[in-house]
């Protein structure tokens, strides 16, 4: 470890605070140490909650919507000014290629803050006038909001939740993933430098159980939890907040399907599948892990997708020709490897990948957390590998014969986050897409996001919707005021 490894501290009351101990933040490209991270203990989490409460009871509680929107725009400007620093921080933590970190993670952080500033100012107040009464809606902040986020899109997810929470006048305590503390720490500096009053934005570092995550969700002083992560952790958090009946917004796991019909534009569909299976090394909650293809084009789609998977360029994230990085950690790779071994033992026939890739000179797949883009066929929906989320660059391909069968196969899951439907037949597209039992159903695209549209999952994929006014609804307490005529 270099003697100069930086240290990432907790951020409370606009100041950086040492933790009870430190742990090493590792770079999954080669296993090197990125930084030492100060883990928050119960005392530090308690200080964060106290600071957040004091902010709400202080001047922040009186800031008007235009003042909060102006702060948010300054935040967006400062992230833009420090764009390269954020990009390098995200790359060091995740190993993701620059060509992803730039447009996906850091740009979206800027856009999240600008969009929710706009949403706040453009949002009208609903009113209902009858001869008997005028009813109108008053919004107030929820209070102290715990923001708990994962490692796959760290800054994007943090800002997706912190922006509307701050727009609504809350004070937030962010618990970034233990795997990706860097951009949250940098973002704390930005919030301070943009002029956020002390206590409005706090960061506590650490793990889940017996660490910052658990201490935060069990703290009696928080008023709501917004969480993105696995379904299992969502369930644990729900139990933690149940005694206090706190509002939760949960964006959880998925086992997302793509339906590829015989009347699709095959090349367009295969290009879309390549993105939806392999983007961010398959570590996007929306990624496709089940591909159902009409039998008449199954061989053609399979062959073309395999060719595209094998053409992906794994390598140095700073090289602009690199398309694909490693998994987040060796521990996560072990889970992906076990899942693929399980698929094979259930009868999967590998089409490509299945193990550690060969890499350009200077990179060692074993030292980092690399795993090759992997496709298989031969499993049906009864296989564990076709039911449980793997969260890696993997998918199983399955042929179908009829539209009804395809819809039934896609919906045969406990999850319900996203689906994509590939067809040039407009009637079929509009018939099938709404039948998907998911929160997001794309026709001839995948991960095309509109930030004002509702985002969230059905079934085990989540509770609630965020985006535009849906976010403002979650991050505020709504009081209906009724004035008699």
User: Which lies closer to ligand NAD via its Cβ, residue 238 or residue 408?
Assistant: 238
User: End-to-end alpha-carbon separation of the chain, Å?
Assistant: 72
**Residue with CB nearest ligand NAD?**
208
Q: How far is the CB of 245 from ligand NAD (least distance, A)?
A: 18
Q: For residue 409, what are its two tokens?
A: 């196969």
User: Which lies closer to ligand NAD via its Cβ, residue 153 or residue 410?
Assistant: 153
Q: How far is the CB of 73 from ligand NAD (least distance, A)?
A: 25
What secondary structure, in 3-state letters, does 66-79 show? HHHHHHHHHHHHHH
User: Which lies closer to ligand NAD via its Cβ, residue 247 or residue 378?
Assistant: 247
Distance in angstroms (rounded) separating the CA atoms of residues 198 and 11: 10
User: Which lies closer to ligand NAD via its Cβ, residue 13 or residue 389?
Assistant: 389
Q: How far is the CB of 149 from ligand NAD (least distance, A)?
A: 6
User: Which lies closer to ligand NAD via its Cβ, residue 87 or residue 252?
Assistant: 252
Q: List phi, psi (to 5°) of 353.
A: 75, -145
Is 403 one of the catalytic residues?
A: no
Binding site for ligand NAD (CB under 6 A): 148-152, 175, 177-178, 207-209, 213-214, 217, 228-230, 233, 236-237, 251-254, 285, 389, 391, 417, 457, 461-462
User: Which lies closer to ligand NAD via its Cβ, residue 131 or residue 243?
Assistant: 243
Q: How far is the CB of 336 from ligand NAD (least distance, A)?
A: 12
Per-residue CA distances from 238 to 205, 364, 477 (Å): 21, 40, 20
User: Which lies closer to ligand NAD via its Cβ, residue 230 or residue 477?
Assistant: 230
Q: How far is the CB of 211 from ligand NAD (least distance, A)?
A: 7
Sheet holding 248-251, edge to edge: 15-17, 10-12, 201-203, 171-175, 144-148, 224-228, 248-251, 462-463
39, 178, 179, 251: the catalytic one is 251
Q: How far is the CB of 402 from ligand NAD (least distance, A)?
A: 30
Q: Where are the beta strands (DSSP E) in 158-282?
A: 171-175, 201-203, 224-228, 248-251, 256-260
Q: How far is the CB of 317 from ligand NAD (least distance, A)?
A: 20
Distance in angstroms (rounded) separating the CA atoms of residues 391 and 339: 10
Q: For residue 225, what are its two tokens?
A: 């939890």
Return the active site residues: 251
């Amino acid at each position: 470890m270099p003697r100069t490894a930086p240290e990432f501290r907790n951020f409370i009351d606009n100041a950086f605070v040492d933790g009870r101990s430190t742990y090493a933040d590792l770079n999954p490209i080669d296993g090197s140490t990125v930084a030492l991270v100060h883990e928050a203990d119960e005392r530090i989490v308690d200080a964060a909650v106290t600071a957040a409460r004091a902010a709400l009871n202080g001047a922040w509680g009186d800031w008007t919507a235009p003042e909060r929107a102006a702060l948010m725009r300054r935040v967006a400007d400062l992230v833009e000014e420090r764009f390269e620093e954020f990009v390098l921080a995200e790359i060091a933590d995740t190993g993701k290629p620059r060509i992803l970190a730039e447009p996906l993670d850091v740009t979206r952080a800027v856009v999240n803050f600008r969009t929710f500033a706009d949403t706040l100012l453009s949002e009208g107040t609903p009113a209902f006038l009858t001869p008997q009464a005028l009813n109108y809606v008053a919004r107030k902040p929820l209070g102290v909001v715990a923001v708990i986020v994962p490692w796959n899109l760290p800054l994007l997810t943090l800002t997706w939740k912190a922006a509307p929470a701050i727009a609504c006048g809350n004070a937030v305590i962010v618990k970034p993933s233990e795997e990706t503390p860097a951009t949250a720490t940098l973002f704390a500096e930005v919030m301070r430098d943009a002029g956020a009053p002390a206590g409005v934005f706090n960061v506590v570092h650490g793990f889940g159980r017996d660490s910052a995550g658990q201490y935060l969700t069990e703290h009696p002083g928080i008023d709501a939890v917004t969480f993105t992560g696995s379904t299992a952790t969502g369930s644990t958090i729900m139990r933690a907040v149940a005694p206090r009946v706190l509002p939760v917004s949960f964006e959880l796991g998925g086992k997302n399907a793509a339906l590829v019909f015989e009347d699709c534009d095959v090349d367009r569909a295969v290009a879309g599948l390549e993105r939806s299976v392999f983007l961010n090394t398959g570590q996007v909650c929306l990624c496709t892990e089940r591909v159902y293809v009409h039998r008449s084009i199954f061989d053609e789609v399979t062959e073309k997708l395999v060719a595209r998977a094998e053409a992906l360029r794994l390598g140095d994230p700073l090289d602009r020709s690199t398309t694909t990085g490693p998994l987040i950690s060796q521990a996560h790779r072990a889970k992906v490897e076990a899942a693929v071994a399980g698929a094979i033992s259930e009868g999967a026939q590998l089409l490509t990948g299945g193990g550690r890739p060969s890499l350009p000179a200077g990179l060692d797949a074993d030292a980092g957390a690399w795993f090759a883009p992997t496709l298989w066929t031969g499993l049906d929906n009864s296989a564990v590998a076709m039911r449980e989320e793997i969260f890696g660059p993997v998918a199983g391909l399955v042929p179908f014969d009829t539209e009804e069968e395809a819809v039934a196969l896609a919906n045969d899951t406990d999850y319900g986050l996203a689906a994509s439907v590939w067809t040039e037949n407009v009637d079929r597209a509009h018939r099938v897409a709404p039948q998907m039992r998911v929160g997001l159903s794309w026709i001839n695209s995948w991960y095309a996001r509109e930030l004002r549209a509702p985002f969230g999952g059905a079934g085990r994929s989540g509770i609630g919707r965020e985006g535009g006014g849906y976010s403002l609804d979650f991050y505020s307490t709504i009081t209906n005021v009724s004035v008699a005529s």
